[in-house]
Structure 1
Amino acid sequence: MNAGPELAIDVSGLVKTFAGRRVVDGFSLKIPKGRIFGFLGPNGSGKTTTLRMLCGLLTPDEGSGTCLGLDLRGEAPLIKRQTGYMTQKFSLYEDLTIRENLDFVARLYEMDNLTSRVDTALKDLGLWARRNQLTGTLSGGWKQRLALSACIIHEPRLLLLDEPTAGVDPKARREFWDEIHTLAGEGITVLVSTHYMDEAERCHEIVYIAYGKLLASGTAEEIIKDTELYTWRAYGREADKLAGRLRGQDGVASAVAFGAKLHVSGTDEAALEKAIAPYRNGPDITWERTSPTLEDVFIHLTTGSKDNFE
C-alpha cells in the first residue's frame, strides 16, 4: 500500500469566535507539502482568521490539528518560527533602506552569517541594485518584492500570503506568481488569499470560504464540475443590460455583465433555458452555451451564502 503525500497541514473542526460571532465554523482541511493553496471568499468571510489559525498565529477555540507536523495548540511558537507571513498592509519600515529592512528582519530571527544571508536575499529577488534605496520611495511592485524577500529570508517551510498582490500592476503580479511557483518547487507550502480569479487558477488547489464556512475545495476544474452550474453567454448590442431583467427569475442563479457580454448561470438546466427564452430571438444579441468560469462559480456560491452578521 502506497503512503499518501506528506501533509504540511492537517486540521479538523477549527472554530474561532469574536464578539459572539463564529468567524470560522468547523473548518477542516489537509494540505500536502509543496502545494499552493488559494483561499477565496467575500470580504469578512474568515479567510485571514483561518490562515492565522493554520500557522499557529491564532489559537482555535475548538478543533485540533497539526502544521508542519507540529501541534497547533501546544507547539505554536515552533510553527511560527518556520512560517513566513506577508500581511495585507505593507509592514516594513519606509524610512529604512531595502538592505536595512532585510538586515533588521534577519536579526529578529537571530540568523547566523547575517551579511551573507542578506546579500543572498537581495540577489535572489532582484533587489541588489536597489539595496540602498529608501523603502518609502519604492513602487507597489518593488515593495511587494521586498516584503516577499523579508518573508523568506529565514528559510521558512510554510509561506502565508494575505492578499499579496492588491494594488500592483499585472506585470508585477505575474513576476510575483512565477516566484511563488519557484518556492513551491523547492518544497515550501504556500497559502494565499486572493480576490483575483486568474491568480486562483494559478494555485494547485482552491479553498472557498464564505462567512466562516468551507463551501468548496479542490482544483479549479473540480470545483467548477462539482458545482454543476450551467451557463449561457450573450453578446451583441446591449446584451449586458439584460442582467437586471434576468436576476431573480426562476432558474437564474446569477446574471453578471462582463464588459459588453453577459453570463447567465443556474443549476437547473431546463429552468435556466426557460428564463432566457424570451430574450433569445432578438436580432442584435447572440446566445451560446459555454463552460462556467471560476468567477461564475464563486458568484453563485457567494449568492447562496448567508452573512454571519445577520
Structure 2
Amino acid sequence: MPTSRESKDPGGDVAIDVEGLTKAFGDKVVVRDLSLQVRRGQIYGFLGPNGSGKTTTLRMICGLLTPDGGHGTCLGYDILTQRDAIRRRVGYMTQRFSLYEDLSIRENLEFVARLYGVKAPSEAAREAIERLGLQGRGEQLAGALSGGWKQRLALGACILPRPELLLLDEPTAGVDPKARREFWDEIHKLAAHGMTVLVSTHYMDEAERCHEIAYIAYGELLAKGTIPDVIAASHLRTYTVSGPDLNGLAETLVKTPGIDMVAPFGSSLHVAGRDAETLDNAIADYREDPKLHWSLSTPSLEDVFIDLMSRSKDNFQ
C-alpha cells in the first residue's frame, strides 16, 4: 500500500479531501475523526464555538500541524508527506493582524512579494494597493489603519503570491458591518476567478454567503453541506411565539420535555423540537393562552446551530 497520495491529480476538482483527522494536545483531543471535502472554486464556511478545533483543523489541512491520525490531500498533495508543496500554494490569514505595523502599506506588500519570490515586487505591491482601493495611502503605516482596512490589507498580502487556496481564520472578528460586507464582496470576486476559500466564522450572515458549510463542536464535525441541506438534516420543527413576559415563558419552556431549543429573537422566541408530534404536545397548553401568538416558521440556520451547541459536550470542561 502506498504511503502517500501523490498520484492524485493536482488539477482535479477537489481542493481539500481529508479523512479521519485527529489531533490531541496532551490528554485533550481537540479534533476527532474529522472528514471533509471541498471542491475547487468553492467558498466553504467552517463554523463552531470557540475551542472547537477549527483553527487546529485549518493548520492540519495546510501543513502547519501534523495530525495524530487520519490522512488526506490539499490541492492534490499529501498533507502528511508533501506539506512544503501545500504551503507554497496556500494563503493563510490568521485571526491576529500579522503584518508589520511599523512599516507602510507599500513596504509590507513589497516584503511579502519578495518573501514569496514574486517577480517585480514593487509593481506587484502597486497593483495590490490599487486592487485594495488604497491609492494614495501606500506610505501610511499599517498600524494606523482601522480594523477593517487592516483586514483588507492582510487579505491583499495573502493573495499577492496568487495562491490556489485561501484559508481565513475568523477574518472579520471585531470589524464593523460595512467593512465586513466589503471584505466578503472581495472574497466572492476571488472565488469567481477560481480561488478556493475555506473560512471560519461565528457570524450567521457570513455563513449564509458560503456555498457550503460545516459545523464543528469541540472537535467533532456535526453537520455539513449546503445551508438547505443542513437545515433539513436537523429535522427541527420551529414555532415563533410573541407576547408578554417572554423571559418567564422561556424559563418555563426550556424545562419542558419535548422542547429541544428555546432562543430569543428580537421581540419573540423561537421554540423548536426534533420530534414534531412531541413538540406539538409539549406546547399545546401554552398555545391556548390568548395573550400569546404562536406561528409555525421555517427553522433558521441559527436555530440549527443553537440546537447543535446544546447537544455538544465541551471536551475542555
TM-score scaled by length of structure 1: 0.96
1:58 aligns with 2:65: yes
Q: What does the per-residue CA deviation read over 1:34-79, in whole Å, with 9 as the maximum and x for residues that have no partner?
A: 1011001111110110111111111111111110111101110111
Instruction: Give the drift of 1:187.
Output: 1.0
Taking the aligned partners of 1:240 and 1:217, their CA distance within structure 2 comes to 32
88, 95, 103: which one pairs with 1:96? 103
Taking the aligned partners of 1:69 and 1:285, their CA distance within structure 2 comes to 56
CA contact (8 A) 1:240 1:259 kept: no
Equivalent pairs counted in the alignment come to 306
68, 73, 98: which one pairs with 2:80? 73
Q: What does the per-residue CA deviation read over 1:232-281, in whole Å, with 9 as the maximum and x for residues that have no partner?
A: 00123333542111113111111001121100111011221222223223
CA contact (8 A) 1:211 1:306 kept: yes
27, 41, 52: which one pairs with 1:45? 52
1:293 aligns with 2:300: yes
CA contact (8 A) 1:56 1:79 kept: yes
140, 160, 164: which one pairs with 2:167? 160
Q: Which position in structure 1 is the counterpart of 2:180?
A: 173
Q: Which position in structure 2 is the counterpart of 1:85?
A: 92
Taking the aligned partners of 1:237 and 1:144, their CA distance within structure 2 comes to 43
14, 22, 25: which one pairs with 2:32? 25
113, 129, 132: which one pairs with 1:106? 113
Q: Which position in structure 1 is the counterpart of 2:193?
A: 186
Q: Where in structure 2 are there 5+ consecutive unaligned residues?
A: 1-11
Instruction: Give the drift of 1:110.
Output: 2.0
Q: Which position in structure 2 is the counterpart of 1:14?
A: 21
Taking the aligned partners of 2:103 and 2:245, their CA distance within structure 1 comes to 53
Letter in 2 for 1:49: T
Secondary structure at 2:263's aligned position in 1? strand
Question: Aligned-residue CA RMSD in angstroms?
Answer: 1.2
Taking the aligned partners of 2:94 and 2:134, their CA distance within structure 1 comes to 20
Report percent identity of matched pairs: 60
Q: What does the per-residue CA deviation read over 1:130-175, in whole Å, with 9 as the maximum and x for residues that have no partner?
A: 2111111111111111010011010000000000111111111111
Letter in 1 for 2:175: V
Matches within 5 A, 1:158-237: 158-237=165-244
Letter in 1 for 2:119: D
CA contact (8 A) 1:90 1:147 kept: yes
Q: Which position in structure 2 is the counterpart of 1:151?
A: 158
Matches within 5 A, 1:265-280: 265-280=272-287
Letter in 2 for 1:199: E
Taking the aligned partners of 2:57 and 2:273, their CA distance within structure 1 comes to 30
Q: Which position in structure 1 is the counterpart of 2:6?
A: none
Q: Which position in structure 1 is the counterpart of 2:311?
A: 304
TM-score scaled by length of structure 2: 0.94
| Structure 1 range deviating more: 286-295 or 98-107 | 98-107
